[in-house]
Amino acid sequence: MSQEGLLRPGIIQLRVLDMDEAITHYRDRIGLDFVSQEADGRVYLKAFDEFHRHSVVLREADSAGIDFFAFKADGQEAVDGFRKRIEEYGVDVTDVAEGEMPGTGKRISFMIPSGHRIDIYADMELSETAPETHNPYVWKDEPRGMRAQRLDHCLLYGPNLPEVEKFFTEVLDFHIPERVDLPDGTLAIWMTVSNKAHDIAFVNHPEPGKLHHVAFFLEDWSDIGHAADVMTRYDISRDIGPTRHGITRGQTIYFFDPSGNRNEVFCGGYTAYKDHPTRVWDGNHVGRGIFYYERQMNDAFLSVVT
């Protein structure tokens, strides 16, 4: 295996205002499978094509937004290695005990300069409904709703982008397929620890700790159209799309969950190898970078976050 260290995004924990509405949205509309609800009220879900127990965790709260985003590492030795590098860099690391989430091993947890919490872990049980691995069908049960295949990435809004970039590239071994640089500084960075066009992205924003969107991967442009049909049928609040991003080249719809957290369904996107040069956008062309067909940003893109 040539990819070592961090493998991929593994868990997002979101705050929702009403759990029942959130379950209907994430299970029946986006099409995630309900895994469990635990004694503390948190609800665990996974996409049909994911192997591990859960990827999306919902927590009922009186505000919307993100609690944390977690990356899965290729073993406890790698987690221990990251812990050492993070602490040597001067960032405090907190332990999260095994079992804090069902079926999930111990995690390390730390705050990044944008005001977001990131966790790293190595172990999670395989799901009882994991995709088949012996003479597999493409799915066992017909995918529901928007037919999300997996948690793909998130875009976070917060301050101190240069420090965030330095931390992710120097300490966590991410690389940067794409960026937007304005005359007065970096507006946005798209970063990956794999060869997806992005595993996590950041936009410069004065208020720390904000969520712009969490994205779910769909199979193709045809499924994006199907997702749009689902949104109209169930009167889901849509932001923009179906359209394409110039940045990452992914095809997309932005929409909102019942608590106002922005979701994305995303397909396509180029393959980003670590030895590829970074694509750079400037302020005169960023509209086409964000929304390739509209060629301008909408009012909500830069300001509507939870």
Interface positions with other proteins (CB under 8 A): 15, 17-18, 61-65, 67, 115, 205-210, 235, 237, 239, 256-262, 299-300, 303-306
**Would you please indicate which residues are annotated as catalytic (active-site) residues?**
153, 198, 213, 245, 254, 264
Answer whether 56's CB lies under 8 Å from 26's CB.
Answer: yes
Q: Residue 185 and residue 95: Cα distance in Å, rounded?
A: 34
Evaluate whether 48 touches 218 at the Cβ level (below 8 Å): no
CB of 248 to other proteins, least distance (A): 23
The least CB distance from residue 104 to other proteins, in Å, is 21
Q: Whose Cβ is closer to other proteins: residue 15's or residue 42's?
A: 15
Comparing CA positions, the residue from 192, 160, 190 lying closest to residue 173 is: 192
DSSP-assigned beta bridge partners for residue 200? 154, 191
Nearer to other proteins, 64 or 151 (CB): 64
Which SS3 state, helix, strand or coil, does residue 3 take? coil
In 3D, which of 168, 144, 152, 8 has the Cα closest to residue 74? 8
**CB closer to other proteins, 149 vs 263:** 263
CB of 197 closer than 8 Å to CB of 153 = no
Q: How far is CA 101 from the centre of its chain?
A: 19
Nearer to other proteins (CB atom), residue 276 or residue 295: 295
ω into 206 cis (within 30 of 0): no
Are residues 192 and 179 in contact, defined by beta-carbon separation less than 8 angstroms?
no
First to last CA, the chain: 38
Q: Based on CB atoms, which residue is closest to other proteins, 237 or 278?
A: 237
Nearest distance, CB of residue 136 and other proteins, angstroms: 38
